[in-house]
Amino acid sequence: MAGMKTATGDYIDSSWELRVFVGEEDPEAESVTLRVTGESHIGGVLLKIVEEINRKQDWSDHAIWWEQKRQWLLQTHWTLDKYGILADARLFFGPQHRPVILRLPNRRALRLRASFSRPLFQAVAAVCRLLSIRHPEEMSLLRAPEKKEKKKKEKEPEEEVYDLTKVVLAGGVAPVSFRGMPAHFSDSAQTEACYRMLSRPLAPPDPLLLQRLPRPSSLLDKTQLHSRWLDSSRCLMQQGVKAGDMLWLRFKYYSFFDLDPKTEPVRLTQLYEQARWDLLLEEIDCTEEEMMVFAALQYHINKLSQSGEVDEPAGTDPGLDDLDAALSNLEVKLEGSAPTDVLDSLTTIPELKDHLRIFRPRKLTLKGYRQHWVVFKETTLSYYKSQDEAPGDPIQQLNLKGCEVVPDVNVSGQKFCIKLLVPSPEGMSEIYLRCQDEQQYARWMAGCRLASKGRTMADSSYSSEVQAILAFLSLQRTGGGGSGNHSQGPDASAEGLNPYGLVAPRFQRKFKAKQLTPRILEAHQNVAQLSLSEAQLRFIQAWQSLPDFGISYVVVRFKGSRKDEILGIANNRLIRIDLAVGDVVKTWRFSNMRQWNVNWDIRQVAIEFDEHINVAFSCVSASCRIVHEYIGGYIFLSTRERARGEELDEDLFLQLTGGHEAF
Amino acid sequence: MGESNEDIDQMFSNLLGEMDLLTQSLGVDTLPPPEPKPPRAEFNYSVGFKDLNESLNALEDQDLDALMADLVADIREAEQRTIQAQKESSQSRPYSASLDVPSFSGAASLGYAANVAAPSISQYEDDLPPPPADPMLDLPLPPPAPEPLSQEEEEAQAKADKIKLALEKLKEAKVKKLVVKVHMNDNSTKSLMVDERQLARDVLDNLFEKTHCDCNVDWCLYEIYPELQIERFFEDHENVVEVLSDWTRDTENKVLFLEKEEKYAVFKNPQNFYLDNKGKKENKETNEKMNAKNKESLLEESFCGTSIIVPELEGALYLKEDGKKSWKRRYFLLRASGIYYVPKGKTKTSRDLACFIQFENVNIYYGIQCKMKYKAPTDYCFVLKHPQIQKESQYIKYLCCDDARMLNQWVTGIRIAKYGKTLYDNYQRAMARAGLASRWTNLGTVNAAPPAPPSTGVKTGTTQANGQIPQAAHSMSTVLGEAQRHVETTKDKKPGLGSHDPGAPRAQPLPKSSLPPPPPMRRSSDVGCGSPGMPPKAKGAAAGFPAPPLDLLPPPPPPPLEDDDLPPPPPDFSDAPPDFVPPPPPPSFAVDAGSSLPPPPPPPPPALAPEAAKQTPVVVKRPPAPPKRQANPGPPGGGGGEQDFMSDLMKALQKKRSNMP
């Protein structure tokens, strides 16, 4: 026991006084002074501190932080000597878990307690467990970008911060599901709301906000983000993060293992959100056609999410839908009417007959639309001069199977046309149908679309298709004309949806809303049948199919080169890119990589590939630690196997990504 | 389809003649006494209703709750009534050959039918409603009692399932079939029956059996358009009938059966497509050397992720201008979403690209001799067009590459973008098939030598039926088709007469039209132990025997045991196309067990041996058939054909009897 004294009050052992501050790195905080020797164990010191403070409190999460060395004293059996602590050490006795605000992939802020003392890798794993996201190794944290001191007049609206700091997760056990969500979320209405925020895609952002947010204008800008990644092998405290700081949680490695839409709504949703924001903020470029598909999917996802439809697996089977329809039909009929009706409902295929104006563009004709009697049955469209001639031979008969259906609509101009490109052995014949009003248009349009896929109007999706078209038309009427300046909260209802919120700003500049809407509508028809999770998955897949997907950019300077270049790091390869033009100069695949080394002194990464190809570069825009960790991380991720399940070989990860602690 | 209508007419009347004969001989020779000689009309109906009856059988097998049982009873009753009614109405008409009007096959099929069976078509169109509708027509109100309101959901669900099942089976009853003439690489042709559920893969398997080729993955069905000078291979998952339905009546288009290494080149050497650095020479040699493990991981990476990776492909191509014979050079890029080009004065960044074409509605073809025909800069052309377009049109897009390598990369890249992972699945299936085939050849040498030489030419009665894809009227085509396929199978049938068995395995696959056809094929090959018709996926089968792909299949009895009783089937047997009848043992099991329960494992129960022994005589009787058929294809002496028809007739009767006691 340290602190033995003689009668005169002199210490006769080699004990000395150690001052420990209580709290989180606050020099003003209360402090206690202990009498210790170099032989004292950390555990004993902790005990003494608690005794000294003499306050009833749960101290179990507290540990000592050594400020000068930026190190936690976590080995309770080590002695002070072993740690090398002397009387001048500034020690803080504080909690290991502290609140931080995470900016989630969906851009919402969430306050929770994260470990400040474990390596980031573990801290992220714990956070992901709390959020019920599997495969935390794909995620990491980055520092929030420094806020530029811009025009103060625009005061940021108070942002809602979700709070999960009170939620404690029992260690080791897999979270139990309760009422459709992990049990720890079901404690209070507040946490339930938080889970909804995590697991449901959010409404499209306000187009104005979209225009205000910073977007990368060049490859160089895209490198900025990647300089902010935190180090996986060190703890938050060591990296200068303070309690209450804002950090971004993102999918860092673009290698998504075993993505299962059924069982992991949070992971899927957050991934979808990250993909969506990537596209909206032009972090990744896509073509116009691709953007329309993305917009249509967003629209569809938003609609499903707003309508509160949780994914019902039953709803995903179109065959079953048919059946449901048939069944309910049957039941209705059975209740009263004659049996022949049953037959009718099951076997007759509904048809459309109406006067429509038809236009067939031909060379050297100036004829416009002419009125015809049009009959649409099964997948075939026939038109006659007049209704009286209908029993006879039609002027023309078109089988719409496999045809292209293009809406040509202008709501304010009351123009409701359907352009059909009908394939025939001779080529495509073009024909325009002009409808009188929205109702008529929606019915015929829905019929044409189904027919183009070889289905008839008896298909159960017909009525929902009609509804979807009407909804889209109303969308065009309400939101379409405006440029998005009517104030829309983030949760704009489906009707008031602005197409500008669905596309990247450069398309906002390129197209008017009323041009955009029909194109989104056109793309929508191919995805309208998807369930929520299917649509999200489809979105993610389309995102992954983009040529530039999953490339993290860093400015480097290759050995022997005089100019800066860009190094792109993807999950399977490294890409050397010309900084100015953006052209790919050279690609190296990880599968050919023999080894890589980092020279921490000169901040140079050297890589050896098969056949004695050697590459070396120094990192300019980010530290070489980040590049090193990216490479090691991807190598690690490629070692994952389904058989191992959720287990993580953390040591391997740290081995592959660490190694620089010495410096 | 150069043949004239006369030919087709003749074929039709030939067939009718044959059928006449067959029905007679059937009644006299082959049927067991209790079966009355069926009037032809009745036979036709049973064919027409075959699937329906089966489906209802299968329904019975399910554990139906009270309501469903009632419902089914009603359907059955209704159906029988209908059959009755139709029998009456049609007995007067000699040519009511087909009941099975493909009511959803649309105008095209009717066109073909008219080609072949013009006289009969109006008749059955007028008088006979398509079968599936009938049961519903007579459907009385099912008693509402069995469904008390309290049990709502579960019951509704169960009910839903069952109705769904019923509906699917009803659909099955109207299956469209085509006779397809396939040109072999030795300039011979084979005609085969393709039903509308069959995918190219199934047709290939069928052809493998008929040709005894090595079954490697390069074999493909290949369509050529002489008029447009374009051609392409069918992807294995494509529905053959659907593709052929787009052809016009007078088309010169042909289907070929040949080897094309381009078909799966990407899976054999993925590096040539994925790692080719835009023609940079330096990489070429290293690519060639890629080892198997790296290839595998490259494939895994490209095809097994959440989404597939389309090879990065870009470069200058020549584009034929619409309606002109001039070609314009443009810079094109391939993306998963389509082909794009760089507009004049723009860069090739994503945001500047203009869409040239998307793949949803087009197929990709090789252009042949475009240099001559369209003054193309080179002969390495590929063509994109909507499958329905058959004549020259401005909607057909022609692109021209600098060399063969580029052409290959583009065509393959586009196929990957269009078909995605399906392509890889196809390949794996083809590989499994090829692997099995090679194992079989090994096995074949071990087994006793086949007694009869294979009748490779297979000039059957149907070959005469000149039309390449005449859409034969229905029951006709059923008979025809199966006749053609199941040359040797009559013997297999006989023991099974009167049992439910043929129905049972059929019910199993229950294809949505996209499903590969049926397990029975596996069955026949499993037990027949002489036929190469193997389950495509039984890669890991033990001891050289394909593992039965379905659990209801009996494990094949050990060959030695069978050897005494069943002579190893002659190679002809492999002419019997796969998707067919159960071979001898299963029926006997089925009779014993009264259901399709899995029979006992390898050491066969004593019951089997006698049964099998009984079958042998029948088997022995028949071997001379194939040569006869070849020598004598005409109706009067058409031994082979006769047999085929008989097998069919019997199958039909069998089923009928089991359904209509």
pLDDT by residue (tens digit) across A307-352?
765 544 333 344 444 555 555 555 544 444 444 444 445 556 678 8
Residue-wise pLDDT tens digits, B278-321: 444 444 444 556 778 888 888 888 888 888 899 989 999 999 98
């225009």: which residue's tokens? A211
Rounded-to-integer distance, Cα B419 and Cα A622, Å: 40
The answer to whether the predicted template modeling score (pTM) of the entire model surpasses 0.90 is no
This model of the complex carries an ipTM of 0.83
Residue-wise pLDDT tens digits, B32-54: 444 344 333 333 333 333 344 44
Structure tokens at A105: 């992939």
pLDDT of residue B497: 40
pLDDT of residue B506: 41
Strand order in the sheet with A573-577: A584-589, A573-577, A565-569, A552-558, A613-619, A604-609, A593-599
For residue B612, is pLDDT > 80?
no
For residue B557, is pLDDT > 60?
no
| A chain contacts of residue B246, beta-carbon cutoff 8 Å | 425
Whether B391 sits inside 8 A of A425 (CB atoms) is yes
For residue B610, is pLDDT > 60?
no
Residue-wise pLDDT tens digits, A138-197: 999 999 887 765 555 455 566 788 888 877 766 555 566 676 778 788 778 888 888 889
Residue-wise pLDDT tens digits, B439-460: 766 665 544 444 444 443 333 3
For A244-262, what is the mean pLDDT? 89
Residue-wise pLDDT tens digits, B473-512: 344 444 444 444 443 344 444 443 444 444 334 434 333 4
Structure tokens at B512: 């949505």
pLDDT of residue B288: 55
pLDDT of residue B16: 57
Structure tokens at A304: 């499903």
Tell me how crowded residue A314 is: count the other CB atoms within 10 A of its CB.
12
pLDDT band at B176 (very low <50, low <70, confident <90, very high): confident
Identity (one letter) of the amino acid at B493?
K
3-state SS, one letter per residue, for A420-451: EEEEECCEEEEEEEEECCHHHHHHHHHHHHHH
Lowest-pLDDT range of A487-501, A523-537, B231-245:
A487-501
pLDDT of residue B21: 52
pLDDT band at B565 (very low <50, low <70, confident <90, very high): very low
For the domain made up of A552-656, give the CATH fold.
Answer: PH-domain like (2.30.29)
Whether A323 sits inside 8 A of B163 (CB atoms) is yes
Residue-wise pLDDT tens digits, A126-140: 999 889 888 899 999
Are domains A15-95 and A351-457 of this chain identical in fold?
no
Q: How far is CA A604 from the centre of its chain?
A: 33
For B527-550, what is the mean pLDDT? 40
Which residues contact residue B453 at a Cβ distance below 8 angstroms, ignoring those fewer than 6 apart?
Answer: B571
Inter-axis angle of helices B40-48 and B639-659, nearest 10:
70
DSSP state for residue A137 in the 8-state scheme: G
Lowest-pLDDT range of B99-103, B127-131, B264-268:
B99-103
Q: Structural domain boundaries of chain A?
A: 15-95, 99-146+159-169+177-285, 351-457, 552-656
pLDDT of residue B6: 55
For A478-485, what is the mean pLDDT? 44
> Of residues B340 and B459, which shows the higher confidence score?
B340
CB contact at 8 A, B432 and B538? yes
pLDDT band at B31 (very low <50, low <70, confident <90, very high): very low
Strand partners, B654: none
Rounded-to-integer distance, Cα B552 and Cα B539, Å: 18
Whether B307 sits inside 8 A of A540 (CB atoms) is yes
Facing B390 at nearest CB: one of A347, A425, A547: A425
pLDDT of residue A551: 93
For A583-587, what is the mean pLDDT? 88
Whether B335 sits inside 8 A of A546 (CB atoms) is yes
For residue A489, is pLDDT > 50?
no
Chains A, B: CB contacts within 8 A come to 133
Rounded-to-integer distance, Cα A461 and Cα B206, Å: 37
Lowest-pLDDT range of A180-194, A226-240, A574-588, B159-173:
B159-173
Q: Which of B337, B340, B398, B421 to substitute to test the interface with A, most A CBs within 10 Å?
A: B337
For residue B413, is pLDDT > 90?
yes
Quick one: CA torsion of B331, B337, B338, B343, rounded to 10 degrees? -40
Can you give the length of chain A in residues?
A: 663
Whether B335 sits inside 8 A of A506 (CB atoms) is no
For residue B99, is pLDDT > 50?
no
For A444-463, what is the mean pLDDT? 84
Residue A567 phi, psi (nearest 5): -105, 125
| A chain contacts of residue B355, beta-carbon cutoff 8 Å | 287-289
pLDDT band at B605 (very low <50, low <70, confident <90, very high): very low
Facing B361 at nearest CB: one of A286, A404, A611: A404
Nearest CA of chain A to the CA of B337: how many Å? Answer: 7
Nearest chain A residue to B358 by CA: give it: A289
pLDDT of residue B78: 58
Determine the 3-state secondary structure of A161 from DSSP. Answer: strand
For the domain made up of A351-457, give the CATH fold.
Answer: PH-domain like (2.30.29)
For residue B592, is pLDDT > 70?
no
For A59-83, what is the mean pLDDT? 90
User: DSSP letters of B423-474?
Assistant: HHHHHHHHHHHHHHHHHHHHHHHHSPPPSS----S---HHHHS--SS----H
Class (C level, CATH) for A15-95: alpha beta
DSSP state for residue B555 in the 8-state scheme: P
For B70-79, what is the mean pLDDT? 56
- Domain A99-146+159-169+177-285, classified CATH 3.30.413.10, yes or no: no
Nearest CA of chain B to the CA of A254: how many Å? Answer: 11
Beta strands in B36-90 (DSSP E): none
Determine the 3-state secondary structure of A572 from DSSP. Answer: coil
Whose CA is closest to B524, among B581, B570, B574, B484? B581
Rounded-to-integer distance, Cα A497 and Cα A146, Å: 32
Lowest-pLDDT range of A105-109, A124-128, A423-427, B77-81:
B77-81
For B566-573, what is the mean pLDDT? 43
Average pLDDT of chain B to the nearest whole number:
62
Q: How far is CA A356 from the centre of its chain?
A: 45
Rounded-to-integer distance, Cα B422 and Cα B428, Å: 10
Rounded-to-integer distance, Cα A254 and Cα A273, Å: 14
For residue B59, is pLDDT > 80?
no
Tell me how crowded residue B467 is: count the other CB atoms within 10 A of its CB.
25
Determine the 3-state secondary structure of A405 from DSSP. Answer: strand
pLDDT of residue A555: 94
pLDDT of residue A468: 78
For residue A429, is pLDDT > 70?
yes
Whose CA is closest to A556, among A577, A530, A537? A577
For residue B517, is pLDDT > 70?
no
For residue A486, is pLDDT > 70?
no
């089914």: which residue's tokens? B72
For A536-558, what is the mean pLDDT? 92
